[in-house]
Amino acid sequence: MAFEYRTWVEVSKRRIAENFRAIRDVLGPGVEIAGVVKADAYGHGAIEVSRILAAEGARWLAVSTVEEGVELRRAGIDTRLLVMADSLPSTRAALAEYDLTPVVHSFEDLRALDGFARSRGTRLRYHLKADTGMGRLGVAARAAGIASASGAASHLELEGLMSHLASAADYTTSQTECQIRTFADLCRDLSSVGIAPKLRHLASTHPIAYGRREAWFDMVRPGLGLYGYASPPAGPAPAKILHLQPALAWKAAVLATQEIPEGTPVGYGATFRARRPMRIAVVGAGYADGVLHQLSNRGHVVAAGTLVPIVGAVSMDLTTIDVTGCPSIQAGDAVTLLGSDGSASIDAAQIASLAGTIAYDVLCGIRSRVKRVYVP
């Protein structure tokens, strides 16, 4: 069979929509959803995913940078767009021009943003990030300090208060409970001094999937869940209440097959030598496409409905697999690097476990030269 692309991903629009609905159904009507589409929607294609989510009724989407937000606006996405990690002075004009809502991480940035809005004769909405124990971005001030700083910003409107959980999937530590309590206390203390942001948000996918309702507040920010995954828990986790389906399958064409005798070295560094006469196939995807080099001699792909091993080092453009047990595989056939074929499958979480990384890394690591194909 001939294929148009050497390697490509197939993104199921239906599954992304169904994952969004599953999240919405678990949350109920009282909690807003900000679908996270940063990093090109975790490799799924931010523009197309944003269109799917907007069609499903999403009122908020979240990106990391102003540049990502501008790209969505230029593509016609008209939902609210929250910019979570960009406070560069050079991007402030685009915030106003493209109606992007910034997350402010410090009082210095708050004063600078207020000065910008004043110079433009406009008023901007923003969300303030509080550091509740992650030790990364966010203000560590108490309610009085936030009240003073936000009150002085006369050209800004404090629309939201947010924070970020550092160890949401780890039930062997009390860090998450401490962060939730710190955030709840801050919200209460702000309310007592007359500040009640419309949207308070803390949780991403895992607290939704495992029913940590005390972390949901007014809005949640699912990212990985939209694409069919929830980080596996560590320790004594509660029952999972959210069921998702991976939305992406990654495939590549077989470029050649050959029979090799026992003792033949395969790939760079001769890290694999055939232990018997075997049949190998060379697949048109390598680490420049996002196939993790750590999968050399330990990963698997699905060929002709069978899980087969990667042999030798993953190279920049090519990966070699053992197809001794798949006599039907020929040059021009497709193999599945991530996804299902027949009864065999491999997902991003399994690949991550083999490679010693996380599912986010696997999905976000699929490079731009891998063509995205959207299927119903």
113 CB neighbour count, 10 Å cutoff: 21
Is 268 considered catalytic here?
yes
Helix (H/G/I), strand (E/B), else coil: 27:
helix
Give which of 1, 6, 22, 9 is closest to 230, Cα–Cα.
22
Alpha-carbon Rg of the chain, whole angstroms? 24
Record the tokens describing residue 161, joined without a space. 């208060």
Cα–Cα distance between 336 and 249 in angstroms, integer? Answer: 7
Cα–Cα distance between 192 and 181 in angstroms, integer? Answer: 16
Counting runs of H as helices and runs of E as strands, what totals does the chain give?
A: 11, 19
Record the tokens describing residue 2, joined without a space. 């001939």
How far lies 13's CA from each of 22, 42, 247, 336, 375, in Å? 14, 14, 7, 19, 6
Maximal CA-CA distance, the chain: 78
Catalytic residue among 227, 251, 268, 360: 268
Record the tokens describing residue 99, joined without a space. 């109606």
238 CB neighbour count, 10 Å cutoff: 11
Phi first, then psi, for residue 323 (nearest 5°) are -115, 30
Phi first, then psi, for residue 76 (nearest 5°) are 95, 10
Give which of 12, 43, 8 is closest to 366, Cα–Cα.
43
Catalytic residue among 38, 42, 126, 229: 38
Q: In which element (H, E) is residue 54 found?
A: helix 46-55
Helix (H/G/I), strand (E/B), else coil: 245:
coil
**Side chain identity, residue 248:** L
Is 38 considered catalytic here?
yes
Cα–Cα distance between 116 and 102 in angstroms, integer? Answer: 13
Beta-bridged to residue 201, according to DSSP, are 162, 219
Residues known to be catalytic: 38, 268
